[in-house]
Chains A and B, each alone.
Chain A
């Protein structure tokens, strides 16, 4: 048993910090309805700022603490409150994209400034070890635990007993009513975001000495936090804190057990997701409600003329894409990769654009396709085309596994489930033999067709083009058929659709699985294209980048996937500037935030112009009528 003490202590300490982060996350989510995927990125920003002031500028740690936690935290919070305000009234997908964009932007900025490798954050609390009987505890561990517990406790008491706390719970209930009762909801939310983000920054600073400064690792703290928040059902602050302790303890004990089992090394970091998934499965419908949900904006129907123009555009684009081998020369591999990713982006757009669902693990489906293909075609020696199709089909049950528990709840929970799943896949399943294996590499052959040479780079490019076009046509057929109609009707009134006897969730799962299938095919093509395939090409971070880059390119059936693939693969290969490419994720992130905010009809320039135009026309008409009446009376 005594072997376990150090693990239990470490688990409680990190768990308390997760709990602190989770409390902040739930506080902001509850009061504003915006789930901040960038909560961990705020923690990372706080930790790096602390490091910068203390270790780079050499100032004493209390100064760094004040700057990183007490000044920067609230400032980030105020900025986030404005962002959340600008996002209220947009679709769930737009809200997710905006905060994921923020995550990508902040993470990219930190990686660009400090590099991707882990730096050491020197301990700032006393590290003296106390011996209590047979147990050794660091003073810093005690302090971190006490700080986290007492701050969360203080917040809970504050919310229970003060009038501001009552108002904060009131804003969750009904913000308009709170406004009518004489308290500004905006001020209440500002306070919530200030506290919540301060908690994030504090948790980053407290965690950094133990885990090291790694932009990605700290950014993904949000996963620990949402696992903990799931235990509190995204509503209860004290339970979320307890959830943090449970996850911290679970991870620590788990890592003690799997210490010698290499294949399970990824289990502890995946624990939050497993907890979250368990909560999803065990929760009755209606218990986990998404705040302020809106699936999709209405769209105008397309006229026949528009359609003709669209077809002409598609043909022209196809001709252009088909002529790439003629001019690409040494960049042909880049274009091939981009082309393959057109299919992955198209599958993602099918999901986001038609059903308003967001997948944050699409790259994992591509990875499943890639490794399945490698095993089928390379290992088992199946014919190329059969292996390709089978690879896509393997991704289907994987997609269903993630989607089924989450979809019955709502769009936000699907996004959370997929984010966690992507990380679980990368850390736990990628290293397994069924996927990339311990060596991390799997061989995948190029195709051999008798009648045309498709094993050359040019031939392979054209083969990919044919497959991508087929995939896009499949998407088109599906969205134009009854499934498309059901999905459109669903965005209008899910209730009406259900009473008409349509099983909305089955349709959603179908679309999700189709999307996973196409992503799997994309992954298989990518594996075949590179010859060998490794997990590095399919990171969880790339999944997040995909959704952000896709959102930047709008919602066009053709324009969005092609534009996104071009932006992600082709543009960086033409820009030789190292610095620019390093900052590219920042650009993507910032643009995604802007695009999401502008998708809000309140800020839609077109709608505003329309309003202005009709208002002035109405006013002009009123004046005309008045004049006519006056003239008529004068005549009489």
Chain B
């Protein structure tokens, strides 16, 4: 699926966050979005999944204008968003979290796919999702998105606050997602890993796209500093 944000202005109330942002995720590609705190990365993902309606600009999926569609519409069109923090329903059980997607899958099919991806979830099916460890919660969030057969997955800092071993498991899963043919738009703090996986990279600063290109153009630390006002730890 080709996904495009065209000339987006967006913000909250009277505060504008994104200023004429254009971003393209070609079919089957992995795009990494980098930028300092407050650059507008999360806001961009919120616009992309329909959580935040843009003030101006277009959201185009496979040539179809889907601007103004609510998240569940975009989700049906194939856009899955794993929001910042833990994208799970804390007061539902693990199993219910997996089933909330809708009537497309049967109960056993959904559960077996999820357990196949993350065996640990299999031991926790009847537990409340809020009682899982941070890593398990993130696995559940990823599994939920995976079950929807997405064509584009928006990942917002999925490795945040997790132990290194869990981060490894999560990146393995991300690699596995790409083999299903899904495109990825990744916002990450582990810049090296995110760049290693990426086909394209976008840099953002203060609500604008300051660089768009291939990761090979960005290996030098100097280049980073040139495009981003705040230096970023690698």
A residues neighboring B (CB under 8 Å): 163, 166-167, 169-170, 172-174, 176-184, 601, 607, 610-611, 614-615, 618, 622
Contacts and interface: CB of A to CB of B under 8 A. Distances in A.
Contacts of A622: 20
Contacts of A610: 14
A170 B102 CA distance: 12
B83 A176 contact: yes
A515 to B, nearest CB: 32
Summarize A's interface: helix, strand, loop or mixed: helix
Contacts of A181: 72, 75, 100-102, 144, 148
Contact of A178 (B50, B55, B100, B103): B100
A169 B13 CA distance: 29
A174 B55 CA distance: 24
B120 interface: no
Contacts of A184: 70, 72
13 contacts: A163-B103, A166-B92, A166-B99, A170-B89, A170-B96, A176-B71, A176-B83, A177-B87, A180-B75, A183-B72, A183-B100, A184-B70, A615-B9
Contact of A169 (B50, B91, B148): B91
B56 interface: yes
Contacts of B75: 179-182
Contacts of A182: 72, 75-76, 101-102, 148
Nearest to A174: B89
A178 B90 CA distance: 12
Interface of B: 9, 13-14, 16, 20, 49-51, 55-56, 70-72, 75-76, 80-81, 83, 87-92, 96, 99-103, 144, 148
Interface centre among A179, A184, A610 (most CB of B within 10 A): A179
A179 B51 contact: yes
Contact of A166 (B13, B51, B83, B100): B100
Contacts of B13: 601, 607
A179 B89 contact: no
A141 to B, nearest CB: 37
Nearest to A619: B56
Nearest to A610: B14
A287 to B, nearest CB: 14
Contacts of B88: 177
A176 B83 CA distance: 10
A173 B96 CA distance: 13
**What 3 pairs between A and B have smallest CB-CB spacing?**
A179-B71, A182-B75, A173-B89
A622 B90 CA distance: 45
A308 to B, nearest CB: 28
Summarize B's interface: helix, strand, loop or mixed: loop
A615 B92 contact: no
Given A163-B102, A180-B81, A181-B101, A607 B87 contact: no
Contact of B80 (A169, A180, A607): A180
A167 B9 CA distance: 32
Contacts of B102: 163, 181-183
A184 B51 CA distance: 12
Interface centre among A173, A182, A611 (most CB of B within 10 A): A182
A172 to B, nearest CB: 7
B232 to A, nearest CB: 28
Contacts, number: 79
Contacts of B56: 615
Contacts of A177: 83, 87-89
Contacts of B72: 179-184
Nearest to B104: A182
B90 A173 contact: yes
Contacts of B9: 615
A169 B75 CA distance: 20
Given A166-B96, A184-B72, A614 B89 contact: no
A627 to B, nearest CB: 16
Contacts of B20: 622
A368 to B, nearest CB: 43
B83 A169 contact: no
A163 B105 CA distance: 12
Contacts of A180: 49, 51, 71-72, 75, 80-81, 83, 87
A408 to B, nearest CB: 24
A172 B100 CA distance: 13
A615 B91 contact: no
Nearest to A171: B89
A163 B9 CA distance: 37
A183 B99 CA distance: 11
Contacts of A169: 89, 91-92, 96
Nearest to A183: B72
Given A179-B51, A180-B81, 16 more contacts: A163-B103, A166-B96, A167-B100, A169-B89, A170-B96, A173-B91, A177-B87, A177-B88, A177-B89, A178-B100, A180-B75, A183-B100, A184-B70, A184-B72, A601-B13, A618-B16
A170 B92 CA distance: 7
Contacts of A166: 92, 96, 99-100
Contacts of B80: 180
B18 to A, nearest CB: 12
Given A172-B91, A173-B92, A615-B56, A179 B100 contact: no
A184 B81 CA distance: 15
B14 A179 contact: no
A157 to B, nearest CB: 15
Nearest to B154: A180
A179 B46 CA distance: 12
B123 to A, nearest CB: 21
A172 B76 CA distance: 22
A184 B73 CA distance: 8
A163 B99 contact: yes
B79 to A, nearest CB: 9
Contacts of B50: 179
Contacts of B103: 163
Interface centre among B51, B89, B90, B103 (most CB of A within 10 A): B89
Given A178-B100, A181-B100, A183-B100, A611 B91 contact: no
Interface centre among A169, A180, A184 (most CB of B within 10 A): A180
Contacts of B91: 169, 172-173
Contacts of B70: 179, 184
B51 A615 contact: no
A614 B71 contact: no
Contacts of A167: 100
Nearest to A602: B13
Nearest to A173: B89
A170 B144 CA distance: 14
Contacts of B16: 618
A169 B130 CA distance: 14
A538 to B, nearest CB: 42
B100 A170 contact: yes
B212 to A, nearest CB: 19
Contacts of A601: 13
A610 to B, nearest CB: 6
Contacts of A607: 13-14
B48 to A, nearest CB: 11
A173 B101 CA distance: 15
A601 B15 CA distance: 14
Nearest to B80: A180
A610 B13 CA distance: 10
A527 B151 CA distance: 73
